[in-house]
A = this chain, B = another copy of it.
Amino acid sequence: MNAITFENLERELKNKKINLSHQRLKILEYLIENQTHPTVDQIYTDLQIDMPTLSKTTVYNTLKLLVKADLVKVITIEDNEARYDINIENHGHIKCESCGTIYDFNIDTDSLISSDLEDFKIDEKSVYFKGICPRCR
């Protein structure tokens, strides 16, 4: 896996013929700098301070584009809001039910297998835990 740098992402985007508008750049920048699995609303609210004309639709559009291009993953650990992660490497997520924080943890999702799935084509594997984080215990 490649490190998350602008250079790598830019190359990927060029490969996939996605051109980097000002808004898209800012959203990507935000995801790289804030690897806290933000919601659309968090991304919009924070970016909107410096870009007053930014539309929430643009945030939705861009994220959908990045997800389709496999540069971003959606985390559906909670049923009421999607969260976005620019770190598409093999890892798990645990949500603290006390403070709401979603933490990354190391787990080799590739090695998860089941004989029941021999005839399936598997495209994506997600591991979600819930519990209480050390700070909240």
Residues of A at under 8 Å CB distance from B? 74, 76-79, 81-82, 92, 94, 96-97, 103-107, 112, 114-117, 119-134, 137
Contacts and interface: CB of A to CB of B under 8 A. Distances in A.
A109 to B, nearest CB: 9
A128 B92 CA distance: 11
Contacts of A92: 112, 114
Contact of A123 (B81, B116, B130): B130
Nearest to A109: B127
A100 B66 CA distance: 22
A117 B129 contact: yes
Nearest to A82: B79
Contacts of A121: 131-132, 137
9 contacts: A76-B77, A76-B79, A92-B114, A106-B114, A106-B116, A112-B127, A120-B129, A120-B133, A121-B132
Q: Which one of A122, A123, A129 has the greatest number of beta carbons of chain B within 10 Å? A: A129
